[in-house]
Structure 1
């Protein structure tokens, strides 16, 4: 579903989104506070159900923890066995897509929206973020809108990613990120755990 950002409005005096969009997010926020955030940590299947109910497209075995904040589930795609830790912020005004076996660690922020500071009305806009498979975004890292990250990349703790990382199976850290190493490529998928659930 498009983000439905209103164009040419005055954000200091008026909303940046249509009424229908704001009502949908308010309903999701209510469900998040009452049913998602309060759910026990092992109830990954329950949280996946709630996200799917609001339009998220999730693979099997996803682990989204209860204190992970998802701005708009309908703009979220997670491949199989993706882990989203507590205190992450998935600010998905546009689509955020995360490939299989990727991990988003505590406090990481994937920011899909910003403002055009040169526009007269400080125009809000959004761009998608795409993470490949086997990506690890470490604690407190920040990934800005429009970024694509290749398979197997590690983004170091508290790193700042402001442009694409196209070289697969590499390690990046810093402000902004720079290449600091290589990662061993694992060709075999991890064996599924007994009793795992979506």
Structure 2
């Protein structure tokens, strides 16, 4: 298997592999181009994000600055919005349903490192996919960690650190995130 195949299948991979490094630099070059486009040029920015991401809905809007590792592993549904300073480390698939919103400074991180310092210092990493259902709203400075799945209609409170998966119709918050209440309460 190539290091890319290992990465996408959730196995340990060598992050400094030449192919992966080239893919990350290519994505960064595209992000430099996107982040340099005026915010008022909505159509141009959307077109460039549609080229960067693996799949998108028809409507999306992402404020500058936006950063990601690869871009091609990100799928966003219809009416996606990300506010200033969003970072998505997409070494694994990151999938958003329709009508998702990310507040400023949200971090979504699929990439992880071994606990063993010897393996970690050799540049070994692994990644786990992240999925957010429809109508999710992630508050400012919240972090979604590797392997998390959030159901539909989930609100993540500002500053939350989401380390595990949650079902539908919930407000979650804290560090680590826990259920605060049901949307229907």
* Matching of residue 63 in structure 1 with residue 71 in structure 2: no
Number of residue-to-residue matches in the alignment: 176
Residues 69, 88 of structure 1: 8 Å contact kept: yes
Please give the alpha-carbon distance, in whole angstroms, between the structure 1 residues aligned to 2:173 and 2:55.
30
The aligned residue for residue 99 of structure 2 is 101
After superposition, the Cα gap between the structure-2 partners of 1:57 and 1:8, relative to the gap in structure 1 and judged at 3 Å, is: closer
Cα displacement string for residues 11-63 of structure 1 (whole angstroms, at most 9, x for unaligned residues): xxxxx243122222212212221x21111113333223223323521101111
Secondary structure, aligned partner of 1:63: strand
Please give the alpha-carbon distance, in whole angstroms, between the structure 1 residues aligned to 2:73 and 2:171.
27
State the 4+ residue runs in structure 1 displaced beyond 4 angstroms.
Answer: 2-9
Cα displacement string for residues 104-149 of structure 1 (whole angstroms, at most 9, x for unaligned residues): 1100100110111136412310010000000000000011000000
Q: Structure 2: any 5+ residue segments left out of the alignment?
A: none
TM-score, normalised with respect to structure 1? 0.81
Residues 44, 62 of structure 1: 8 Å contact kept: no
The aligned residue for residue 161 of structure 1 is 162
TM-score, normalised with respect to structure 2? 0.86
Secondary structure, aligned partner of 1:59: coil
Superposition pairs for residues 1-198 of structure 1, below 5 Å? 2=4, 5=7, 7=12, 16-33=15-32, 35-118=33-116, 120-122=118-120, 123-166=124-167, 168-184=168-184
Q: Structure 1: any 5+ residue segments left out of the alignment?
A: 10-15, 186-198
Please give the alpha-carbon distance, in whole angstroms, between the structure 1 residues aligned to 2:143 and 2:166.
14
Residues 112, 129 of structure 1: 8 Å contact kept: yes
Structure number with larger C-alpha Rg: 1
Secondary structure, aligned partner of 1:100: coil
The aligned residue for residue 12 of structure 1 is none
RMSD: 2.1
